[in-house]
Amino acid sequence: MFLKLMFLSDKKVKGDAVTVAMLKLILSGCFRVAQLILLILAVTLIIWVIVVCLQSRSIELISTTTTAIIWAFIAFMFACLFRLISLEVANSQDRNYLFGLFTSTMAFISVILALIAIMKVGL
């Protein structure tokens, strides 16, 4: 079956179903990776707070642990948001919406990579 699809003749190809499916796959993958990174960050921050609270009895760490808990909550909220976006992309049938979302997502990733390159050169 796979070989049959690979060597399909030009006359039998109609529409853009494969292109739209590939865009869905790439977009869903990007948002799932972002979700996974944010979930790992949230769990790491919560574990860090627990370890710090168990090892130290100091009142001075209250602001640091509170800040870490707030950042963990924000990371968890964004992870849930990226999960919903991924599901929305997977269920979307509007190809213009998918092309627009793909373009804006790739532009955002390019900006982040450019900022990382600029910061690396500056150090």
Residue 12 inside a domain? The answer is no
Position 52 scores a pLDDT of 85
Residue 46 inside a domain? The answer is yes
Residue 8 inside a domain? The answer is no
Residue 85 inside a domain? The answer is yes
Q: What integer is the mean pLDDT of 85-113?
A: 92
* Contact call for residues 96 and 20 (beta carbons, < 8 A): no
Residue 3 inside a domain? The answer is no
Over residues 9-24, the pLDDT tens digits come to 777 677 777 788 888 9
Residue 96 inside a domain? The answer is yes
Nearest to 97 by CA among 26, 15, 24: 24
Over residues 48-65, the pLDDT tens digits come to 988 888 887 676 677 788
- 3-state DSSP assignment of residue 8: coil
Q: What integer is the mean pLDDT of 60-72?
A: 86
pLDDT class for 71, splitting at 50, 70, 90? very high
Residue 7 inside a domain? The answer is no
Question: Residues with Cβ < 8 Å from 48, sequence gap 6 or more?
Answer: 68
The domain total for the chain is 1
- pLDDT higher than 80, residue 87: yes
Position 63 scores a pLDDT of 79
Over residues 26-48, the pLDDT tens digits come to 999 999 999 999 999 999 999 99
Q: pTM for this structure?
A: 0.79
Q: Compute the mean pLDDT over every residue in the chain, rounded to the nearest whole number.
A: 87
Residue 35 inside a domain? The answer is yes
Report residue 58: phi and psi, to 5°: -80, 140
Domain containing residue 41 = 18-122
CA triplet 30, 36, 43: central angle to 5 degrees?
Answer: 155
